[in-house]
Structure 1
Amino acid sequence: MNARATEPTVAEKAAEPKLRPVPTAAATVAPAPEPAVEEAAPRKRGGRRIILMAGLPLLLVAGGGWFWLTGGRYEETDNAYVQQAKVSISADVSGRVSEVLVNDNQIVKAGDTLFTIDPQPFQIALSQANAALASARVNVEQLKVAYGTAQATLKSSQGQLEIEQAAFDRKESLVTQGVTADASLDDSKLTLQKAQSAVDLAKQQVAAATAALAGDPNIVTDEHPAVLAALAAVEQAQRNLTKTTVAAPASGIISNVSSLNVGQFIAAGSMIASLVETDNTWIQANFKETQLAELKVGQPVEVKVDAFGEAMDGTLESFGAATGSEFALIPAQNATGNWVKVVQRLPVRIALSQASESMLKTGMSATVTVDTGRSTLDKLQGK
C-alpha cells in the first residue's frame, strides 16, 4: 500500500490522542518563594545607602579636621626672588679711556683691572705738586732764617739801648749836680728814645717770624702748615694718578661695558658698567603680613628656584625695616575717602647655606617654605 501523502484533516487531528509531558526531576522541585527574596534585597541595599550617606561626610569632616589640626606648620610664598649685590662702576677722575680689558658677562676677581684712563695729565699734575712741596719746604727754612735774624736784631737793639741808657743816666746826674746845662740832656734823651724804639721794632719782627713758623720756632719743616698743604696736594695728585686704573671692587660678573670704547671721554662719577657680586647671594621673600606671626630669625627654610628643580636649604636671617609700599617712590595715601584695605608684604631675607648658590642669578623667581615648628594643634595647646 502506498503511504499517505496528504495532510490529515482538522477532524483527524482532533481525534488523535494528546501526549502528556513527562515531569522531570528538576520540574518536581518546588521553586523558592520569590516574594520573600524580593523583599530582603531592598532592605539590605537601603542600609548600605544610609551608612554611606552618613559615614562619608563624617569621614570627610574628620579628615579635614585632622589636616587642619596638623597643618599650619609651614608658611610658604612664591613672591620671592634671588638677590645679589650690584655695584655701579664709575671712574673717580675724568679723562679719556686708553684701554678696555674686559667684556660683557666676564667673570672678574677683586682687584682685576677693568679699564684705564690716559695718565699723562695726572702725571704732570703730580710733578707740579712735588715742585710745590719742595718750594714750601724752602719757604719754611727761609722763615727759620728770618726768625734768627729778628732775634739777632733784637739782641743788638737791646745792647744799644743799654748803652744809651747809661749815657743818659750820666748826663742826667751831671745836670742834677749843676755841672752841665739842661740843654745838653735833650740830645741824650732823644738818642735813648730812638734806641727804645729800635728794641720795640725788633721785638715785633721776632713776633712776626714766630707767627710765620706757626708759633713754634723749632717746628719740624714737614709739620709746618704750608708744607702739610703741599703734602696733601701731592697725595691728591698721586691718588688721581692711581685712579686712572679702574679695578673691580669685588669678585663677580661685569656687564654693560659694551658701550665703553677707547678714546671715549668719561666724567668723574658717571656710571660706566655694573658688577654683580656672585659671592654674596640671598633670597628676598615677600611674606604677607598675616603670615609673620610665627616667623622668627633662625628658622629653617626650603628654597626652590624656578630655574632648578633641586631644593636648597636656607635660614631666615632678618626681617625688613618696613613693608615694600613704604619704600615706594610715591607712597600710597591711605587717608582718602576711597581707601581699600590691601594686605601688605614685608621683605624677609633668607640666607642660603649650599654651594649651589653660585648657579643662581639675581632676579630669578623662587618659592620659599619656612618651617615654623608649630602646627595648628600645637598653637591651640599653647606649645
Structure 2
Amino acid sequence: MSARSSTVADNVTELEVEGDASTPQSGDNKPAVAPMPQADPAGAGETKGKRKIGRLILMVSVPLLIIMGGLWVWLTGGRFAETDNAYAHQTKIAISADVSGRIASVSVEDNQHVLTGDVLFTLDPEPFRIAVDEDKAALGKARLDVEQLKVSFHTAVASLASAKDTLVVQQELYDRRAILAEKGVASNSTLDELKLSLLSAKNAVTTAEKQVESARAALGGDPAKPTDEHPLVRSAIAQLEQAERNLSKTTVLAPSAGVITQVDDMNVGQYVTAGSAMASLFEADDTWVEANFKETQLEGIEVGMPVEVTFDAYPSRSFEGKVTSISAGTGAEFALIPAQNATGNWVKVVQRVPVRIELEPVSETANLRAGMSALVSVDKGKSTLDKLKGI
C-alpha cells in the first residue's frame, strides 16, 4: 500500500475513535457513525486539463488534415479525364446478295471468324448460266449484223460508182446528139429520149449517194471502225458482261476479315432478294472506343492525346490509344426524338459528347467485341497545380 493510502486510512480511524467518544449512546446502545468524507487525489485536475488539450488538438488537427488532403488531391488532380460511359465499336457490314435467287449452300457457321474472300453462301447458278448463254448468242448476232451492214455499205458504194459511170455515158450521148440536132442531122425526138435517159442516170446517182450515206450512218459514221467498236456490238458485250457478273455474284464472299453472325437465319432453299441483309460481319481487327464525356470534362481534351482504356471483360489488361475526333454535337442532338428544351418545365441536364478513341493495334484487340463496356482515361498532360504554375 502506498503512503497516500496509509494516510487516508489513519485519518478515517481517528475520525471513528473521536466519534465513539463524543457521540452519546442511543437507547439501543448502537453508536452513530459519521459520514466518511470523499478523498480528492492529488493531480486529478492536472489530468483533466491534459484531456481537454488533447481533445482540442484532435478537433483541430483532423479537419485540418482533411482540408490539406482535399487541397492536395485538387492540386494534383485534373490531369486525367475519366468516364465509364464508353463502349467498344467495330465496323458492321450487312451481308447481302447482289442478285436474287435461292440459297444453294451455306459455308459458314454462326460467330465464325472469316478471312477476306472466304465463301459465305452460294445461290443457285443455273438461271444465270442460261442468261449468259443467251447474251453470248445475242453478241454473236450483233457482230453478224454489223458485218452485214459493212457489206451493204460496200454494195452501196459500188452502186454509186456504177451510177456515176452510167451518168457519164448518158451525158456524152446527149451532148453528141445535141450537136447533131443543131446541125439538123438528128431529130428532136431522139434528143428528147436521150435527155430522159440522162435525167434517169442523174437520179440513179442521187439515189446511190443516199444509200451510201445511210449505210455509213448504220456503221456509226466510220465504216472502217472494228466490229466490236460498233454500238450494237458494244451493247451486246455489256449485256454479256452483266450476265457473267451476275453469275459470279451467286457466290457471296466475305468483303473483309471479321466475325460473321446471324448465319442461322440463312437456310438452303430460301429465296433471297437482291440487297436484303442475310447476316452481319463485324471487323474484329478494326476496333475503336466511343467515350461519352460530360460536357464539363471536355476542357483540355484535344485530338491526339494519349488514352488508357480498360474493358470490363479484361480488367487486368489495359489498352493504349489516342483521341482521334470529338463529335460535332452532343448525344441528344443525334437522338431519334431530340429533347424539346423550349418548354416551361425545362430542367438543365449535363450533356455528354461522344469522343472517338482509336486503339493501338495489338493482338489482344481481336478478342474484343462490339458493345463491350470500358473505362477511359484521357491524359491531358497538366494537373491543376501545373496550370496554376503557368499563370
Q: Give the TM-score normalised by the residue count of structure 2.
A: 0.84
Counterpart Cα distance in 1 of 2:77 and 2:286: 34
What residue in structure 2 maps to residue 60 of structure 1?
66
AA matched with 2:146: V
Which residue is equivalent to 2:107? 101
CA RMSD between the two structures: 2.4
Structure 2, unaligned runs of 5 or more: 9-39
Q: What SS does structure 2 have at the residue aligned with 1:149?
A: helix
CA deviation map 1:130-184 (0-9, x unaligned)? 1111111111111111110011011111111111122222233334445444444
Structure 1 runs of 4+ with >6 Å offset? none
Is 1:148 the counterpart of 2:154 in the alignment? yes
- Secondary structure (helix, strand or coil) at the match of 1:309 reads strand
Counterpart AA for 1:329: L
Offset at 1:39?
A: 4.3
1:317 and 2:319 correspond: no
How far apart, CA to CA, are the structure 2 residues paired with 1:266 and 1:189? 76
**1:20-57 deviation digits (Å, cap 9, x = unpaired):** xxx99x769xxxxx787344444444344443333433
Q: For residue 94 of structure 2, give the secondary structure of its aligned residue in structure 1.
A: strand
Inter-CA distance 300–190: structure 2 relative to 1 (3 Å threshold): same
Segments of 5+ residues of structure 1 without an aligned counterpart are: 1-22, 29-33
CA deviation vs aligned residue, 1:172-230 (integer Å, no higher than 9, x gap)? 33344454444443222221111111111111111111111111110011111111111
Match of 2:355 among 330, 348, 353: 348
Other-structure match for 1:274: 280
2:314 match: secondary structure: coil
Aligned-partner Cα distance in 1 for 2:123–2:178: 83
TM-score calculated relative to the size of structure 1: 0.86
Distance change >3 Å, CA 196–CA 81, structure 1 → 2: same
Q: Distance in 2 between matches of 1:171 and 1:332?
A: 104
Deviation of 1:350 after TM superposition, in Å, equals 1.4
- Distance, in Å, in 1 between the alignment partners of 2:45 and 2:122 is 103
Counterpart of 1:375 in structure 2 is: 383
Q: Residue 85 of structure 1 corresponds to which residue in structure 2?
A: 91
For residue 157 of structure 1, what is the amino acid of its counterpart?
A
Higher mean alpha-carbon deviation, 40-49 vs 261-270, is at: 40-49
Q: What amino acid does structure 2 have at the position aligned with 1:66?
A: W
Q: What's the CA shift string for 1:310-342, capped at 9, x where partnerless? A: 222222222234322232223333344443333
Determine helix, strand or coil for the equivalent of 1:59. helix
Partner of 2:265: 259
CA distance in 2, matches of 1:128, 1:205: 33
Residue type of the alignment partner of 2:299: A
Identity %: 54
One-letter amino acid matched to 1:154: L
* Equivalent residue number for residue 18 of structure 1: none
Whole-angstrom distance in 1 between the partners of 2:235 and 2:339: 52
Map of 1:78-227 to 2, 5 A cutoff?
A: 78-227=84-233
Report the Cα distance in structure 1 between the residues aligned to 2:163 and 2:129, rounded to whole angstroms. 51
Q: Could you tell me how far apart the structure 2 residues matched to 1:183 and 1:103 are?
A: 99
> Aligned-pair distance for 1:129?
0.7
Q: Deviations over 1:44-94 (max 9, x none)?
A: 443444433334333322222221121111101111111111111111111
- CA distance in 1 between counterparts of 2:203 and 2:349 reads 90
CA distance in 2, matches of 1:60, 1:172: 136
State how far apart, in whole Å, the 1-side matches of 2:160 and 2:376 are: 86
* One-letter code aligned to 2:368: L
Residue in 1 aligned with 2:237? 231
